[in-house]
Amino acid sequence: MAELLTRSSGRLRCIFVTVLWGDWHRNMFLDANLPTMLAPGNLPALFVGVDCEYLIYTTEQDAALMMQNAAFRRLNSLMTVSLKLFRPSKTMHPVALQTEIWQEATAHARSRASFVLFMPPDVAWATAALRRCGPRWERASVRFSCRIPASSAKQSCPFSLNVFLTMGTRPRPFRRRT
Whole-angstrom CA distances from 53 to 110, 145, 147 are: 13, 22, 25
Dihedral sign, CA of 136, 139, 140, 145? negative
Q: Nearest Cα to 166, choosing from 117, 94, 93?
A: 117
| pTM of structure | 0.74
pLDDT at 48: 80
Helix locations, the chain, DSSP H? 23-28, 34-37, 43-46, 60-66, 70-78, 94-111, 133-138
Q: How many whole angstroms separate alpha carbon 13 and alpha carbon 163? A: 12
Residue 97 lies in a domain: yes
Residue 27 lies in a domain: yes
**CATH number of the domain to which 157 belongs:** 3.40.50
Whole-angstrom CA distances from 107 to 19, 34, 125, 149 are: 16, 25, 26, 31
One pLDDT digit (tens) per residue for the chain, 178 residues:
344 444 446 778 889 999 999 999 999 999 999 999 999 888 888 888 788 999 999 999 999 999 999 999 999 999 999 999 999 999 999 989 999 999 999 899 888 888 888 889 998 888 888 777 665 555 554 444 333 344 433 333 333 344 433 333 333 444 444 4
* Structural domain of 85: 2-173
Bridge partners of 80, per DSSP, are: 53
Decide if 46 contacts 137 (C-beta within 8 A).
Answer: no
| Sequence-separated (6 or more) residues with CB below 8 Å from residue 88 | 21, 59, 61
Residue 178 lies in a domain: no
Q: How many whole angstroms separate alpha carbon 90 and alpha carbon 92? A: 5
pLDDT at 34: 94
| Sequence-separated (6 or more) residues with CB below 8 Å from residue 9 | 51
pLDDT at 5: 47
pLDDT at 32: 93
pLDDT at 112: 86
pLDDT at 121: 93
How many domains is the chain built from? Answer: 1
Residue 76 lies in a domain: yes
